[in-house]
């Protein structure tokens, strides 16, 4: 293929990946295609000009859905309630399987039940964008609780979480902190009681594993049995 054909194929591949995952880090695209960051940015600028993608600092994602389409289909894999657009949580496993939760509370349960997690896609509560759930900030226990208890909401930026916390209370947490804080109570908490098993004793150790694994390569293999 000539340079133009290679470029077009790379752009089509980016769109195929986004259709499956929703968002991708620019650094991952650079690594996957073995090209310069500037080359990837040129591709993404072209796709953004066509309205096919949205670019953010270090990330690219599919355009936000129109309001009429902001009603995810299906139910939460943990509590079986309806999925909510503003709190949606999606896990992509290394085997290609996708699992969904109605909110970050159920999402943490889902994470603990899953093995070989490749990506965690969280929906920002304020802006509706898809962000990396592992690097998001969270507010736990605020006065705003649109889904499961205790309330846990995702934010793309620490400042957004802090601003929300000042207005509505609660605590600002990183993902490992949310994992360690919420996991011990899963066995006795309302809609999250379903299918949790004996995972409470692993909270502190799993949080430490998470911090190290995310810092190294962005994926985590837990010892929890896969849910069938």
Quick: pLDDT tens for 33-86: 999 999 999 999 988 887 778 888 788 887 765 433 455 678 898 888 888 777
Q: What is the pLDDT of residue 184?
A: 55
Residue 224 has pLDDT above 80, yes or no: no
Q: What is the pLDDT of residues 181-203, one digit of tens each?
A: 776 554 333 333 322 333 333 33
How confident is the model at residue 183, as a pLDDT? 62
Q: Minimum mean pLDDT among 12-21, 42-51, 142-151, 204-213: which range?
A: 204-213
Q: Domain 3-61: which CATH class?
A: mainly alpha
CB 120 within 8 A of CB 91: yes
Contacts of 99 (CB under 8 A, 6+ apart): 77, 90, 91, 93, 110, 114
pTM strictly above 0.85: no
Q: What is the pLDDT of residue 3?
A: 86
Domain spans in the chain, listed from the N-terminal domain onward: 3-61, 85-216
| Residue 89 predicted with pLDDT over 60 | yes
Sign of CA dihedral 58, 62, 67, 73: negative
* Model pLDDT, residue 4: 85
The pLDDT, as a whole number, for residue 64 is 60
* Interval 134-158 mean pLDDT: 86
pLDDT at 218 over 50: no
Please tell me the predicted confidence (pLDDT) of residue 205: 42
Q: Encode pLDDT of 3-20 as tens digits.
A: 888 998 999 899 888 877
């Amino acid at each position: 293929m000539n340079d133009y054909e290679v470029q077009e194929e790379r752009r089509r591949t980016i769109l195929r990946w986004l259709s499956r995952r929703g968002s991708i880090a620019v650094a991952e695209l650079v690594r996957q295609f073995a090209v310069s960051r500037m080359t990837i940015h040129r591709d993404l600028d072209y796709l953004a000009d066509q309205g096919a993608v949205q670019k953010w600092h270090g990330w690219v994602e599919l355009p936000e859905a129109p309001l009429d389409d902001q009603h995810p289909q299906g139910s939460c894999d943990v509590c079986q309630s309806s999925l909510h657009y503003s709190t949606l949580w999606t896990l992509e496993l290394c085997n290609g399987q996708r699992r969904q939760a109605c909110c970050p509370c159920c999402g943490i349960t889902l994470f603990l039940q899953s093995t070989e997690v490749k990506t965690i896609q969280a929906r920002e509560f304020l802006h509706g964008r898809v962000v990396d759930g592992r690097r998001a900030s969270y507010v736990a226990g605020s006065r705003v609780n649109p889904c499961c208890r205790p309330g846990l909401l995702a934010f793309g930026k620490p400042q957004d979480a802090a601003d929300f916390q000042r207005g509505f209370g609660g605590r600002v947490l990183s993902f490992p902190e949310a994992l360690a804080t919420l996991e011990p109570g899963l066995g006795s908490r309302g809609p999250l009681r379903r299918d949790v098993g004996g995972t409470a004793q692993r909270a502190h150790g799993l949080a430490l594993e998470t911090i190290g694994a995310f810092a190294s390569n962005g994926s985590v293999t837990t010892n929890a049995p896969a849910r069938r």
